[in-house]
Amino acid sequence: MIQDLLGSIASTQAYRRFAQEKTSRTVLYLLFLSLIFTVGGSLAIQLRVGPVVDETFAWLAAEVPVLTFSGGKVTSPEAAPKRLVHPKAAEVAVMIDTARTEPVTLQALQDAKVLAYLTNNALYLEQQQGKIEIYDLSKAAVERPVVVDSKFFRDAAGALKKVVYPLAILTLFVFAAAWTAFAGLLYAVFGLLMNSLASGTLGFGALFQLAIHAQTAALLVRLILAFMPFVVPLSGLLTLAITSVYLWLGVRANAAAAAQTSEI
């Protein structure tokens, strides 16, 4: 697979072999590419998302007053209402008022400029299109009191990473494999036109195999861009152009080989 990877990037003649290889080897290469993308993408996610998760839970641990949920009610040693605003996302704000028992209206949420409002017996969340979702805590029975404190948030951060990261890795691999295969079909259709222009003799199956390998350089470029501290404009067009160039070189290499064979 490493040889195929290097050939996909650095040798147009390798595309002659790719066009004639077994479909099973192309599938294996597709999975190999997906694995590379998954490993690189997972590292990028940890570098980008990990610090945000840590900062958010550290903020919650420091700012949220100790809350105790028992008997369908939330209580806190701090009786005064407290508005929490995320330090890096001002639009993410929550109001905590465990002394309040009367219902919270949508207007009250908007006046307080918060997305959520926690009272003694309910949690109110603002939804899209001017709607409010209400969670009646009095109907949620627990066997023993639940205490939400700094330790709770530290444990929650660790548990979230143990669940989210493995799930993200699996999702990333499945997405990468499915997208690479789907894109290969689209590029293969485009390859039919290239094959006609180059006077080639490749069938759709061979063009699909070329298209899978032709995406290698673009995939590696996407991984590099994922680690950039800024967003590169028109990155989608860049990867499209790179793949198209490699596909054209592959089609032309096969057409030239076919022409030499016919002359002999």
User: Domain boundaries in the chain?
Assistant: 2-50+162-263, 67-148
For the chain, list the strands marked E by DSSP. 67-70, 73-75, 82-86, 89-96, 116-118, 122-127, 131-136, 146-148
Neighbours of 142 (CB within 10 A): 11
Rounded Cα–Cα distance for residues 82 and 53 (Å): 22
Most confidently modeled range among 79-88, 135-144, 231-240: 79-88
pLDDT (tens digit per residue) in 225-258: 877 776 767 777 888 898 889 888 888 888 877 6
The tally of CA atoms less than 13 A away on the side-chain side of residue 119 is 17
Token pair 């192309």 in the structure block, residue? 26
In the three-class reduction of DSSP (H, G, I as helix; E, B as strand; rest coil), residue 110 is classed as helix
Rounded Cα–Cα distance for residues 39 and 43 (Å): 6
User: Residue 181: its pLDDT value, please?
Assistant: 92
Strand 131-136's sheet: what is its strand order?
82-86, 89-96, 116-118, 122-127, 131-136
Q: How confident is the model at residue 122 (pLDDT cuts 50, 70, 90)?
A: confident
Q: Which of 218, 217, 214, 208 is nearest to 181 (CA)?
A: 208
pLDDT (tens digit per residue) in 6-27: 888 888 788 888 888 888 888 8
Q: What is the mean pLDDT of residues 34-63?
A: 81
